[in-house]
A = this chain, B = another copy of it.
Amino acid sequence: MRQYVLPSSYDGESTLTLEKKDSQYFIKVLRLKVGDKIVAISNEGKTYQLTLIDFDRSSCTLSSIPLKSTEEGESTDSLPSFSGQYPNIHLFQCTCKGKKNDGIIRMATEMGVRSITLVQSKYCISKKDKKDNSRYETIIKEAKQQSGSPIPTTFNEVIKIEDLPKIWKESLIFFHQSKVESQKDLKTLLKDFPIDKPIGILIGSEGGLSDAECDMLMRADFNPVLLKTNILRAETASICAISAVHTLLTER
């Protein structure tokens, strides 16, 4: 269920008036009509039942009643989401430059990835800044709310690529646009793969993976796969690979 994130200025008032972008979101995106309801969440994590009571071209007014929990609320959502089973995808993303990481994390969360772990590898251009972690957590929170994702996507601390075999004991696919022998077809790899079994996806940074890293990953029984497309930038590769695995596991 979609949850609206209240402006930080909101402090529990019984009505609130929204303008511009926020108003447009209710009227043009969610297309609520007078009397329609939506669940909202404040910055402090308090939940409210909002009901649209009036709107015009540039603003809208909603009544607000505190809720004990999100589940208690009602939502008139014109855009219902998929209610079937989600694959159990875990993204291991070699660290890209700041804004690219943001975009990748946002898209992966929207797609219902279970966990996101940033990985330091040889060709990572950027150094990870500790301060980024709280921004990533915020992005994940916003993306979960906006997409109505039922998956509680988590964000893990940065790891070194050589520690991946110790940390991840499940299946893992790494996408590598190179002539690694023994590359399998994505379809063959996922043919009888149970939808709820954890599967890791490792995506290189802007500079890809080194030959030594590929060897190390294969020794750990991880599977190299060539995406059947062009050389993609890291952020395109990431969402494209998640979508490819998601599609093959859900479209059966």
A contact set with B: CB distance below 8 Å? 2, 24, 28-29, 31, 78-82, 84, 86, 106-107, 110-112, 123, 125, 146-150, 177-179, 185-187, 206-208, 226-233, 236, 239-240, 243-244, 246-248, 250-252
Contacts and interface: CB of A to CB of B under 8 A. Distances in A.
Interface of A, helix, strand, loop or mixed by DSSP: loop
A187 B226 CA distance: 22
Contacts of A29: 123, 206-208
Number of copies: 2
Contacts of A240: 111, 239, 243
A175 to B, nearest CB: 11
A232 B146 CA distance: 8
B148 A231 contact: yes
B251 A185 contact: yes
A228 B110 contact: no
A235 B246 CA distance: 17
